[in-house]
Structure 1
Amino acid sequence: MPDISTLLLLAAVFLCISYCSASVGLGGGSCYTALLAVSGVAPLAIPLISLSLNLIVTSAGSYQFIRHRHASWKIITPFLVTSMPMAYLGGSLHLPKGVFYGILFASLTIVVIRIFFYQKTSLSWNLKGWQKLALSLIAGALLGFIAGVVGIGGGIYLVPFILIVGLGTEKQAAASGAIFIWLNSITGLIARLHHHSVSLLDYYPLMIAVAVGGMLGAALGATSLKPRTMQKILGTTIIIALCLLIQKLV
């Protein structure tokens, strides 16, 4: 566990991350994971802490996006049907550190490339109803498993996926991301608590920080933030995580 000064510094940074992440329907798990890793937290504890923080942030996000009627259950339900059981399965595993950081880095790189190098928010896929359903079910299973293994909620993959495929608007994607992370974080957290023993009370400053940041960011993202600004915040947050993760890969 980091010393108290490091923990308080992390809390201040996590407040900013949760604010930015909540505004785009995310929990910030990718950044939490990277920061915890470079701060000396044990690899076994990182996924459990990140999932807990994700759960706190997206509780506010889910409420705000549902309250402002941005949530589309037609979009999110197929993903949840397959992602939740796979998130539990992934959460019960413990990958070697090299594989853990490799999966996280590769996934974040793909998302950053899409945001900053492709202006279109969707692709012209002329998919029929059953094709969209099948794609959502398959993607849900894959994203849920990766989310459970890496220890993040999975929305960081889902939000751009919805935009790229053209399943919904930016607001709907953000709302879907928040709900997806919330439910899969619960599932992954249950699996982690069942298979691994870590005291979360030692990290209460981080939980308080992300609760405050999450509430403020969710209110902003659900009401006044422009879609393109949301994407830039998402991309910037991910770049920060990538810079930190490079240290673990070299």
Structure 2
Amino acid sequence: MDIEVIWLATTFFVIALVYAAVGQAGASGYIAAMALFGFAPAAMKTTALALNLLVAMIATFHFMKSGRLSWRNVYPFVILGFPFSLLGGTIHLSHEIYYPIVGVILMLSAIQMARSAFRKGAAIGKPSVPPFWPALATGAIIGFISGTTGTGGGVFLAPMILAMNWGSAHQTAATTAVYNLMNSAAALMGAYAYWNALPTSLPWWLIAVAVGGSIGAFVGSQYLSDRWLRAILAALLLVSSVKLLW
């Protein structure tokens, strides 16, 4: 096992731990880390989706176990999110297009998330149930974008849910965990033509994210407050966007 494999395994462990605490699976973080090593977009996309799928499964389990998951909040996003993510998975972008698109979207999401994290709790108001048709359209659009970029979707969906006040931070984390699970599976299926780009070191990285994701999901589902969840997610989005744009 060479130093690059070990370094990435350690980095993926930390990314999975932190992201899973806020209901995310870490795809944008994995992509940013692999970009530093000059991975090709096809390898980055398929690897990130494979790691994302495993961590999303773990996060979903923990949020279900903690009783924070509401299927009514989830299914409107998933109905069209799955097929559109499958379609997006078949599309391959060059790195000249791939990095800027994902970087800009993540930076805009980070700004919105930071605003919601630091405003007064009283001003946020009681969360409402996601309205069916807007949630359906949101799930489809984000599904296509996430499938194309290999980001899983939750990193885009969470800021939208919180901005529209369609759920508390804990409810949002649980919803995006399931959304990540479904869309990562769909996008990976759609990207089957690029499975040969998966690195041979993937099994080691899967072990690393499984351990990190388990710890993070447990802590996030049980102990972190809504404000901390928002603040951590904003920081993660900002760091990932800067890395991709830089």
- TM-score using structure 1 length: 0.90
Most deviating of 201-210 and 149-158: 201-210
1: distance between equivalents of 2:227 and 2:58? Answer: 22
Q: Do the aligned partners of 2:41 and 2:93 also contact (CA within 8 Å) in 1?
A: no
Structure 1: runs of 5+ lacking an equivalent:
none
Most deviating of 90-99 and 177-186: 90-99
1: distance between equivalents of 2:35 and 2:227? Answer: 30
- Does residue 154 (structure 1) correspond to residue 135 (structure 2)? The answer is no
- Does residue 58 (structure 1) correspond to residue 56 (structure 2)? The answer is yes
Match of residue 112 from structure 1: 110
Most deviating of 142-151 and 203-212: 203-212
Structure 2: runs of 5+ lacking an equivalent:
none
1: distance between equivalents of 2:215 and 2:175? Answer: 18
2: distance between equivalents of 1:39 and 1:45? Answer: 12
**Counterpart mapping for 1:73-152 below 5 A:** 73-118=71-116, 119-120=118-119, 132-152=131-151
Partner amino acid for 2:33? Answer: L
1:127-174: CA deviation from partner (whole Å, max 9, x where unpaired): 9x8x92111011000000001000011000111211111111111100
- Does residue 183 (structure 1) correspond to residue 182 (structure 2)? The answer is yes
Match of residue 36 from structure 2: 38
Q: How many aligned residue pairs are there?
A: 243
Measured after TM superposition, the shift of residue 96 of structure 1 is: 2.4
Alignment CA distance shift 1:123-1:132 (3 Å): farther
2: distance between equivalents of 1:61 and 1:200? Answer: 24
Q: What's the RMSD between the two structures over aligned residues?
A: 2.2
Measured after TM superposition, the shift of residue 198 of structure 1 is: 2.5
Most deviating of 46-55 and 194-203: 194-203
Q: 1:4 aligns with which of 2, 5, 23?
A: 2
Match of residue 207 from structure 1: 206
Structure 1 outlier segments of 4+, above 4 Å: 120-124
Q: Do the aligned partners of 1:123 and 1:165 also contact (CA within 8 Å) in 2?
A: no
1: distance between equivalents of 2:115 and 2:69? Answer: 27
Match of residue 234 from structure 1: 233
Q: Do the aligned partners of 1:48 and 1:198 also contact (CA within 8 Å) in 2?
A: yes
Alignment CA distance shift 1:25-1:199 (3 Å): same
Alignment CA distance shift 1:213-1:232 (3 Å): same
Q: Do the aligned partners of 1:83 and 1:144 also contact (CA within 8 Å) in 2?
A: yes
1:30-56: CA deviation from partner (whole Å, max 9, x where unpaired): 111111122121221111000011011
Partner amino acid for 2:47? Answer: I
2: distance between equivalents of 1:201 and 1:169? Answer: 40
Match of residue 218 from structure 2: 219
Most deviating of 200-209 and 5-14: 200-209
Measured after TM superposition, the shift of residue 195 of structure 1 is: 5.4
Identity %: 31
- Does residue 67 (structure 1) correspond to residue 60 (structure 2)? The answer is no
Measured after TM superposition, the shift of residue 175 of structure 1 is: 0.3
Q: Do the aligned partners of 1:34 and 1:245 also contact (CA within 8 Å) in 2?
A: yes
* SS of 2:224 mapped into structure 1: coil
1: distance between equivalents of 2:198 and 2:131? Answer: 41
Match of residue 46 from structure 2: 48
**Counterpart mapping for 1:5-24 below 5 A:** 5-24=3-22
